[in-house]
Amino acid sequence: MQNILISLVRYSDKCCAFNVRINSAAYNALKQAGRYLEEELLLTVNREKTHVCRSWQGVKFLGVSIYSGYTQIQQVKLNGFKAKVRTLTRRSSPNLIDVIDELNPVLAGFAMYYRIANCKGVLADLARWVRRRIRAIQMKLWKKPTRLHRRLRQLGYPAEFKAIKMNSWANAASPLAHYALPNNHLHKELWLFDLSAVTTGILVPDENKNRQEPYTRPVRTVL
């Protein structure tokens, strides 16, 4: 197979072959690979999942879809990630710090695994969504607008205070919620893992560059 300029990528029990420019060569490579795996390595090839396709169609591999010029996270993986985050960030949670402690490994694991994809915008959107869920929890824990107003006064909020529903998902994205719980407070003081700060689209990650330590942190500021 190496004689016809094929690059192989193998992980666990999955394998992809790239850079086959001729259609007939692709099917020939598939036939050779299947014979080698079954006859030499005595492995079973799944004929239903084994196929030849063009790069513009996308190759689904280990949670990502690989195209000619970019790689993206599969939608089913995004849906599964969001479902897990929803479970961990229920607004009935009694303690915000405990929520963040449980949430951070999930956020870090997802980001570190999928950062090979071209997903900067996706991670930024997810970061905004996660922050909104954290704000929704804190708003409900405050229960009454007076506690929100006290926090706003501490921060020097210049405008008039408005009475808003503290258990409203919509109000978790309001200017008052953002002012009371700014991004820097969530990430720098409560140490919520910042998905938007992860470098993406990298094939060989530099472990010392942009390194984040979500679990080694100073004492938090608790509201």
Tell me which amino acid residue 176 is. Answer: L
Chain mean pLDDT for the chain: 81
Q: What is the pLDDT of residue 14?
A: 67
For 106-147, the DSSP string reads HHHHHHHHHTTSS-HHHHHHHHHHHHHHHHHHHHHHH-SHHH
Give percent above pLDDT 90 in the chain: 47
Residue 150 — pLDDT band, cuts 50, 70, 90?
Answer: very high
Q: Which of 45, 37, 198 shows the shortest CA–CA distance to 107?
A: 198
Residue 220 — pLDDT band, cuts 50, 70, 90?
Answer: low
Q: What is the pLDDT of residue 40?
A: 77
3-state secondary structure of 182: coil
d(CA 162, CA 185): 22
Give Cα 24 to chain centroid, integer Å: 38
Q: What is the pLDDT of residue 202?
A: 65
Residue 218 — pLDDT band, cuts 50, 70, 90?
Answer: very low
Each residue's pLDDT tens digit, 158-199: 888 888 999 999 999 999 999 999 999 999 999 999 999 998
Residue 99 — pLDDT band, cuts 50, 70, 90?
Answer: very high
**Which pair of structure tokens corresponds to residue 212?**
């984040």
Give percent above pLDDT 70 in the chain: 78
Each residue's pLDDT tens digit, 103-142: 999 999 999 998 888 889 999 999 999 999 999 999 999 9
**pLDDT at residue 74 greater than cutoff 70:** yes
pTM of the model: 0.76
Residue 12 — pLDDT band, cuts 50, 70, 90?
Answer: low
Q: What is the pLDDT of residue 205?
A: 46
Q: What is the pLDDT of residue 108?
A: 95
Q: What is the pLDDT of residue 132?
A: 97
